[in-house]
A and B are shown apart, each in its own frame.
Chain A
Amino acid sequence: MTKAPVRIKTLTIDGREVGAREDQTILDVARENHIFIPTLCDLPGLTAVGACRLCLVEVRGVNRLLPACVTAVAEGMEVSVSSERIDRYRRSILELLFAERNHVCSVCVTNGHCDLQSLALKLGMTHVHFPYQYPRLPVDASHERFVVDHNRCILCTRCVRVCDEIEGAHTWDVMSRGVDCRVITDLAEPWGKSESCTGCGKCVQVCPTGALSEKGKSVAEMSKRRQFLPYLTLMREARR
């Protein structure tokens, strides 16, 4: 079977003309062209879910904001990745995340290596103007090598997806609704008792915050290694 030729679309992002394959998303193209669009749930190599809403962009002629991670490019599309309004929304969404659980950067294992923390800097979030919620959340250290601290989880579901799509174990999932949502292992068993977990640690490496970390790491010692993901994806595609 011969492959259908890939069509190329031309669009503009912030006034810059860029070319893209028709199967790419706005976020893909922006990344290729080194145009910054903030995201927390998206990670190349995993299915995009459009959950964090930080990558919302304006597209001319469309009266609502579109998530760049799941919006396919189109010919002649005019995209603005930044505006007073979008920047304000993005800061607010970040603030909502900081206020939702107990993110205390100064005592966190990923201090200095955290996507949430660095995005706050990048988007100019100086403080959180929503009231902090201070929920009481557990820490599960039952696994012999890893820890999950729900206080630092932003429910991006990268762990859920990497475990399902790359490792194929589907140990992680999400339970409950609304602010009561939690990432869980198996059917909300302690991680250490999970029978499906292979202990591969991919979830820890893709986690954007300190929610998932390796044991024995102290404050600011937990940096994440994500290089494996594009490599794995590449290998997998080559095998097909």
Chain B
Amino acid sequence: MTIEDLRTIAENERQAQKKFQHHVCVCIAAGCLSSGADQVRDAIKKEVAEAGMAGEVLVKGVGCMGLCSAGPLVSVETEDQLFANVTPEDASELVRSIDTGTADLKHCDTAVPFFERQQKIVLENSGKIDPERIEDYISNDGYRALVTAITEMTPPEIVALMVKSGLRGRGGAGYPTGLKWSTVSKTGEQAKYVICNADEGDPGAFMDRAVLESDPHRVLEGMAIAAYAVGAQNGFIYVRAEYPLAVKHLKTAIKQAERLGLLGNNICNSRFSFHVDIRLGAGAFVCGEETALIASIEGQRGAPRPRPPYPAQEGLWNCPTLINNVETFANVAPIVRNGAAWFAAIGTEKSKGTKVFALAGRVANTGLIEVPMGITLREIIHEIGGGIPDGKQYKAVQTGGPSGGCIPEQHLDSPVDYESLARIGSIMGSGGMIVMDETSCMVDVAKYFMEFCASESCGKCVPCRTGTRQMLAILEKITAGEATAADLALLEELCDLVKNTSLCGLGQSAPNPVVTTLKYFHDEYDRHISGEGCPICKEHAASSAEVSQ
């Protein structure tokens, strides 16, 4: 494979697609799929065939278009139209009016902040290309970065490029990616591994799933470039078994890339070989922690071990291992293609590029968004997210999942970057963003996350295993209205203990939801322990009693 070969494939694909007057793209990523998008696609295909328009209309399944709450989504590219909540019955109307663009269907306005305020790097192909066709990816600049890297650049040049770009780990902690690559590359010539962490587990988060489902080749390309840069020969993608579509697309993608010689032995006729395998996670949240993930790939119990040594020094089977998150790898090819300066120009001083968020909860537009770093939470929630529905009041946004914190109104103008979020007690995390309105009881929210951490603790270290359980018991006591001020003091003591003495990130960050709600919503705790009680909890209890009746 040379850059010319790649160009030929891309050109052929573009010519083939140009033959069609209309491109109808049906989102078949997990969100829309769950509302029957596959049936919509089949119905449209059938209508096209019946209308004898198979030569004019290209119907393809594509990845996530972002506005999941309005799914199934169908776009007609030539008319620049987006339709929402499409059903199989709508197919005939859609095909009938495809020439005039006057379909009597629910239109989705794309000239709104939800679409206009986004900036797409990771998701640039998402919702546009067919994730199961490598040619579609190649015709959108796919694998150009890999071929360029192998044929024109040295590994140290690529590492330097990553350092210069300022890219930081998108898994949550924000460790500088270039620095990590540099550490692994300096470990000398020996067996090394590249691992893609796709064990996304935060409640309400689905960024990695969307990327893998919508554009799997982008991740493979990033991994291959990384492997070339650090001198690794083998790679693993550790993806949760609950993502069958992502796994399917990945498997197809790996096969296709191997067939074209973009993965496997002697890539681009060079001495560089790179093989990628998939490993399925069995559903343990803690396996998203890198050392636990590595243990799991090794076939051992998925429990973290103390660091150092870091995986970059001693990782998989004690070999130097580069482990990055899906979104991190997805940023690599564009950086190689467009240069470090281009990437570094986006975002803030210390947090470069964009970040994908899964916007969920009490916000008008729920779905997947990609925004430049430095955008404020207010812009995300009230502009892109369209604000709080049903005339309710905003209360808090939870970022970073069970390891993150709840951010109140007063901090809505703080920019979204690693340092700013940490300063207000939360974390960037992998990109989960759950918006809550006045109908959420913050103690109840803290209890929910603590329950999650307690049951997902691997049980290895004492503070996380039993400390989180003690905290959960106190939170249950508080929400049941049976707690006293002494219980609250004990809760605070446990927050400090679990945070400072736990072995891995799961335990160290498990108290965050409690700490931030205690800090910003202390009055709600007080209300629970005073005789007064919590009006929100009471209302919930009343309405659930009604339901059970």
Contact = CB atoms under 8 A, between A and B. Distances in A.
Direct contact of A and B (CB under 8 A): yes
Interface of A: 49-53, 56, 64-65, 67, 70, 72, 89, 92-93, 96-97, 99-100, 129-131, 133, 154-155, 173-174, 176-181
B12 interface: no
Contacts of B468: 178
B305 A49 contact: yes
A174 B459 contact: yes
B281 interface: no
Interface of B: 284, 286, 301, 303, 305-306, 308, 454-463, 465-470, 473, 490, 493, 497, 500-503
11 contacts: A52-B461, A53-B501, A56-B501, A67-B503, A100-B465, A131-B470, A177-B456, A177-B459, A178-B455, A178-B459, A178-B469
The 3 closest A-B pairs by CB, nearest first: A181-B459, A50-B306, A178-B457
Max chain B Cβ within 10 angstroms of own Cβ: one of A53, A89, A174, A180: A53
B455 A65 contact: no
Given A96-B466, A179-B459, A65 B501 contact: yes
A179 B465 contact: yes
A154 B456 CA distance: 19
B466 A177 contact: no
Contacts of B467: 96
Contacts of A154: 462
B466 A53 contact: no
Given A96-B462, A131-B473, 6 more contacts: A50-B503, A53-B501, A53-B502, A67-B306, A92-B497, A155-B465
B465 A50 contact: no
Contacts of B306: 49-50, 67, 70
Given A49-B460, A131-B473, A155-B459, A179 B301 contact: no
B interface majority secondary structure: helix
Nearest to B302: A177
A176 B465 CA distance: 12
Contact of A177 (B308, B458, B500, B503): B458
A156 B457 CA distance: 15
Contacts of B490: 129-130
A93 B456 CA distance: 20
Given A53-B501, A89-B501, A130 B305 contact: no
A133 B460 contact: no
Contact of B465 (A64, A72, A129, A181): A181
B288 to A, nearest CB: 14
Contacts of B466: 96-97, 99-100, 133, 179
A240 to B, nearest CB: 18
A181 B303 CA distance: 12
Contacts of B463: 53, 93, 96
A51 B503 contact: yes
Contacts of B461: 50-53
A41 to B, nearest CB: 9
Nearest to A54: B462
B279 to A, nearest CB: 19
Nearest to A176: B459
Contact of B470 (A51, A72, A99): A99
A4 B286 CA distance: 39
Contacts of A64: 500
Max chain B Cβ within 10 angstroms of own Cβ: one of A130, A133, A181: A130
Contacts of A51: 460-462, 503
Contacts of A65: 500-501
A56 B501 CA distance: 8
B454 A179 contact: yes
A83 to B, nearest CB: 12
Nearest to B499: A64
A180 B459 contact: yes
Max chain B Cβ within 10 angstroms of own Cβ: one of A49, A93, A178: A178
A178 B456 contact: yes
Contacts of A72: 308
Contacts of A67: 306, 503
Given A70-B306, A92-B497, A96-B470, A178 B462 contact: no
